[in-house]
Amino acid sequence: MWMLVAILLGVLIASLVTGGVFRWHPEWAWMRPKRACMMCEVPRRGLDVVPILGDARSLWRCRACRAVLPWQYPAIELVIVGLTVFHVWRYQSGVWIPDEATELLFAWLARDILFTVALLLVFVYDLKYTLILPVYAIPSAIIAFALNLALGVPLSSLALGMAMLFLFFLLQHALSGGRLLGAGDVTMGLVLGAMLGFVDGIVAVMLAYILGAIVGVVLVATKWCGLHDRVPFGTFLAVAGFILLVWGDILTKIL
């Protein structure tokens, strides 16, 4: 039963998210409604707007112009559903849940799902446009701070994490003239600090640099990019943030 509820919840979240993931970029900002075809602008209607199912019903094509629908939509929707099911399974089975989550488990579950969706948006948007929009990052940091505070996470950890990570990224941005880190990456310091607190936030940043270095070496070695090409660092921050969100207690104890 809980699996069905988790899938339906994931589908609902996916339907709310995917319509605007890419279209907040200026390239598509003029288009309304958000669920319109990117080629002919004809809105999708009825069951066609249902995540995954709608794309399958229309054979992954626009019914009006027959243009192939972007593969990113069903891919993101599947990931959202999968991650939602994963979080529900965690809390239902008592596996990999935060040490502080001794009560109000539903609230902690909702927090983890919300944080995961926010990190996924950062990952997808930065991967596609090499850009982290403040309209994503700033509200995410504010909501994360408020939720964690309401759930009893120490104010000192949240405030110190946000301040230290923000200043750390801001210093790199300023010293490099934006070559090492973009302005969007700086705002991710606020997001990770608000979501993870001071200790887990620091570990997440360390992990992001390690992941970035490994992927960068692989990309250069396989000639997918050159030494001077820019790899979107926000994607690694998002992945590291998710890892610490789920396995933070384990990693910090190991370190």
pLDDT at residue 33 in the model: 52
Rounded Cα distance, 66 and 74, in Å: 17
CA distances from residue 143 to 150, 187, 239 in whole angstroms, order as listed: 11, 14, 19
**3-state DSSP assignment of residue 36:** strand
Q: pTM for this structure? A: 0.89
Q: What is the pLDDT of residues 124-136, one digit of tens each?
A: 888 888 888 888 8
Sequence-separated contacts (24+) of 17-21 with Cβ below 8 Å: 17/76, 17/80, 17/117, 17/120, 17/121, 18/51, 18/73, 18/76, 18/77, 18/80, 19/49, 21/72, 21/76, 21/121, 21/124, 21/125
98 versus 114: the higher-pLDDT residue is 114
- Nearest Cα neighbor of 245 from 131, 121, 122, 87 is 87
